[in-house]
Amino acid sequence: MSETIFNPSVIEMRGADVGAMRDVTLTVVADVNWSVQTGEFWVVAGQQLSGKSDLLMLAAGLMTPQRGSCRVFGSDTEAFGEAQIAERLRVGFVFAGGQLFNPLTVAENVALPLRYQKNLSAEEAASVVEALLEMLELTPFANFLPANLAANWRQRAALARALVLKPELLLLDNPLARLGGRHRQWLLQFLDQLWRGHEWFGGRPMTLVATTDDLRPWRDAKKKFAVLHEKSFAVVGFWDDLALAPSHAVKELLAEPAGTTM
Amino acid sequence: MLYAAVVRGNLAKAFELANTQMFRRAPLPKSYTDFLGHKLFLFLLTVEGLGAFALITLGVILKKSGVARSVIRPRIRQEISRAGVALLPMFLFVALALGFLVIGQTVSALARVGATSYLGTTMVFVIVRELGPLLAAVLVLARVGTAHVIELGTARALGEVEALEALGIDPVHYLIVPRVIGMALGIFALTIYLILGALGSGYLWAFLQDVPLTPGDYFRQIAESLSWLDFALLALKTTAFGFFIAVVTCYHGLAQPLRLEDVSRVAVRAVTQGVIVCVLVDAVFIVLYLVT
């Protein structure tokens, strides 16, 4: 008799209807069946307004499904309240625009979750924050307000803020959309390091889910892909399966936009 | 045929009369009643929303008093500074003006009936019990309450509230609780300064108008007119002003999803409702004074 080990999926959606964050009565994606296992790297692609951000918000437990179920680390997001704060903190979220807190400097933004969750003074949190800022090359901008930062660095500061509590699952909403070429390359390499196990996290591999409206930069044989199109969610598989996918939506997401170069 | 015509005519008149009476019984045309009904429902929904928001805020204040103190306490100090200390120079000016206004009018009225010895008593009635707390509340509402709506409305529109939730930070605890406590304590402290300043400047203006009243007599009159109830109700009233102004302004800034272009409109609505809430709270305390 073989011994079975209970290892729940990191994200498990069953028949989930995703509502819009701005209007909960609106269904943006219907009947999502999706399972994300520990250590996987998923890229969810979809055109603008296809519901990528809302799907990610649901996966982060910031929304509840209109129908069906969504479980994160085995906990139903319907019940994600104060009692499940430990589960919530296992998930890091990087918003599309960064969503940094405008009155706080970059260092204060990064320190806030750590200070709030562990009741630390600014001085007590300083060493961790400085190390993280240095790792993400943000040290020169530590005392900048978000309004004075370029979008590239704002995005990186948001990533630092999401990582400061050392999450096990990192969700990134269209992280490449506002980045220039150099920052894109840096971010893709850094996410790969996180996925394989970064030394800052003790070498523990991280589970990642990123959304995108352009599949080409995410080319990798080991990443998994899913597509959002006309309110439906479809798991495509690995990169090689994308090329074979008959879907017109996939072809659009792989095509080079007219008048642009990579 | 003639009979039939008469009957038809009488029936028509009867119906006309009945219709007219029915019409007269209806207080307003339908479009008016629809409009009033719509406004009434909006009012009731706002009251419900404000009530729920106030209870949630109170719950968080009590339940999370020990959570993340190293983050929340500096924020409370910052809010006390903003809703209290930073407004002190303006309040000293207002206190001088208030003392002058009240004494100027009172002296001329009391001098006609030879009752200038009641000057101190009048100051207690007018400034300590009514004008001082209400004026302090309205000034703080205008200076700080408006800023609350704009800051929170902008934060909501820019998705910062969702960012707090994603980091496991309760937005009510981080954004609202410091503002509520800061404003309650700020209005309480500023009212005390305003009253002291107005009483002092009142005597100054009385002295300049040659009212035959020594400082000792003036302040003795004030002390004799005050009872423990005045101190208790003053503390309660100013704290209630601060709490409700903060709740109204924070509710409008935070409780509903906003677009950036909505923020200015919501700020105007919040200030109007803040003034109405101040007047209602004041009315409750007037009844309390009258009852006790």
Using CB atoms within 10 A of its CB, is residue B25 exposed (0-12), middle (13-18) or buried (19+)? exposed
Contacts of B71 in chain A (CB under 8 A): 112, 115-116, 119
Of B71, B154, B166, which has the smallest distance from its Cβ to A115's Cβ?
B71
Residues B177 and B169 sit within 8 Å (Cβ to Cβ): no
Residue B26 domain-assigned (yes or no): no
Residues B87 and B190 sit within 8 Å (Cβ to Cβ): yes
Average pLDDT over residues A8-12: 87
pLDDT band of B21, cuts 50, 70, 90: low
Contacts of A117 in chain B (CB under 8 A): 68, 168-169
Q: Tell whether A122 and A177 lie within a shared domain.
A: no
Residue A260 domain-assigned (yes or no): no
CA distance B52 to B251: 10
Q: Tell whether A82 and A212 lie within a shared domain.
A: yes
The residue among B70, B75, B164, B172 with the most chain A CBs within 10 A of its CB, best to mutate, is B70
Lowest mean pLDDT among A44-48, A239-243, B119-123: A239-243
Residue B29 domain-assigned (yes or no): no
Q: Tell whether A83 and A182 lie within a shared domain.
A: yes
Residues B202 and B123 sit within 8 Å (Cβ to Cβ): yes
Query: From the CA of B22, how many Å to the nearest CA of chain A?
Result: 42
Average pLDDT, chain B: 86
Residue A49 domain-assigned (yes or no): yes
Q: What is the pLDDT of residue B27?
A: 66
Q: How many domains does chain B have?
A: 1
pLDDT in tens, B154-171: 898 888 999 999 999 999
Query: Which amino acid would we find at residue A83?
Result: A
Q: Tell whether A82 and A107 lie within a shared domain.
A: no
Q: φ, ψ for residue A154 (rounded to 5)?
A: -60, -45
Q: Do B159 and A97 touch (CB under 8 A)?
A: yes
Average pLDDT over residues A232-260: 74
Q: Which of A166, A182, A200 is the last residue of a domain?
A: A166
Residue A259 domain-assigned (yes or no): no
Q: What is the pLDDT of residue B139?
A: 94
Tokens of B101: 């206004």
Q: Which of A141, A166, A191 is the last residue of a domain?
A: A166
CA distance A164 to A202: 14
Is residue B6 predicted with pLDDT exceeding 90? no
Q: What is the pLDDT of residue B117?
A: 75
Task: Please report the beta strands in A156-231, taking only residues with DSSP state E, as ranges in sequence order.
Answer: 169-172, 207-212, 224-229
H/E run at residue A90: none
Residue B44 domain-assigned (yes or no): no
Residue A96 domain-assigned (yes or no): no
Contacts of A88 in chain B (CB under 8 A): 168
CA distance B229 to B132: 16
CA distance A213 to A253: 6
pLDDT band of A7, cuts 50, 70, 90: low
Query: From the CA of A112, how many Å to the nearest CA of chain B?
Result: 8
Contacts of A119 in chain B (CB under 8 A): 67-71
Residue A224 domain-assigned (yes or no): yes
Q: Tell whether A83 and A132 lie within a shared domain.
A: no
Q: Do A116 and B68 touch (CB under 8 A)?
A: yes
Q: What is the pLDDT of residue A252?
A: 74
Contacts of B167 in chain A (CB under 8 A): 93, 112-113, 116, 161, 165
CA distance A109 to B32: 52
Q: Which of A131, A150, A166 is the last residue of a domain?
A: A166
Residues 6+ apart with CB under 8 A from B142: B271
Of A82, A100, A115, which has the smallest distance from its Cβ to B70's Cβ?
A115
Residue A2 domain-assigned (yes or no): no
Average pLDDT, chain A: 87
CA distance A259 to A135: 35
Cα nearest neighbour of B68 on chain A: A119
Is residue A2 predicted with pLDDT exceeding 50? no
Q: Tell whether A173 and A162 lie within a shared domain.
A: no
CA distance B278 to B288: 15
Q: What is the pLDDT of residue B10?
A: 53
pLDDT in tens, A60-98: 988 889 999 999 988 887 766 776 788 888 999 999 988
Q: Tell whether A126 and A161 lie within a shared domain.
A: yes
Domain that residue B168 falls in = 69-291
Residue B78 domain-assigned (yes or no): yes
Average pLDDT over residues B44-56: 91
pLDDT band of B289, cuts 50, 70, 90: confident
CATH number of the domain within which A196 lies: 3.40.50.300
Q: What is the pLDDT of residue A256?
A: 63
**Predicted TM-score of the model (pTM):** 0.83
Is residue A162 predicted with pLDDT exceeding 60? yes
The residue ranking higher by pLDDT, B19 or B57, is B57
The residue ranking higher by pLDDT, A258 or A231, is A231
Q: Tell whether A44 and A17 lie within a shared domain.
A: yes
Contacts of B67 in chain A (CB under 8 A): 119
Domain that residue A202 falls in = 11-90+167-254
Q: Tell whether A78 and A186 lie within a shared domain.
A: yes
- What HEC string does chain B produce? CHHHHHHHHHHHHHHHHHHHHHHHHCCCCHHHHHHHHHHHHHHHHHHHHHHHHHHHHHHHHHHCCCCCHHHHHHHHHHHHHHHCHHHHHHHHHHHHHHHHHHHHHHHHHHHHCCCHHHHHHHHHHHHHHHHHHHHHHHHHHHHHHHHHHHHHHHHHHCCHHHHHHHCCCCHHHHHHHHHHHHHHHHHHHHHHHHHHHHHHHHHHHHHHCCCCCCHHHHHHHHHHHCCHHHHHHHHHHHHHHHHHHHHHHHHHHHCCCCCHHHHHHHHHHHHHHHHHHHHHHHHHHHHHHHHC
Q: Tell whether A174 and A196 lie within a shared domain.
A: yes
Q: Do B166 and A101 touch (CB under 8 A)?
A: no
pLDDT in tens, A173-229: 999 988 888 999 999 999 999 999 998 888 899 999 999 988 888 988 788 999 988
Q: Tell whether A52 and A146 lie within a shared domain.
A: no
Q: How many domains does chain A have?
A: 2
The residue among B69, B167, B170, B179 with the most chain A CBs within 10 A of its CB, best to mutate, is B167
Residue A64 domain-assigned (yes or no): yes
Residue B286 domain-assigned (yes or no): yes
pLDDT in tens, B65-121: 889 999 999 999 999 999 989 999 999 999 999 988 888 888 878 877 877 778 888
Residues A96 and A174 sit within 8 Å (Cβ to Cβ): yes
Q: Do B166 and A100 touch (CB under 8 A)?
A: no
Q: Tell whether A149 and A216 lie within a shared domain.
A: no
Residue A225 domain-assigned (yes or no): yes
**A254 three-class SS:** helix
Contacts of A62 in chain B (CB under 8 A): 162, 165-166
Q: What is the pLDDT of residue B245?
A: 95
DSSP state of A82: G
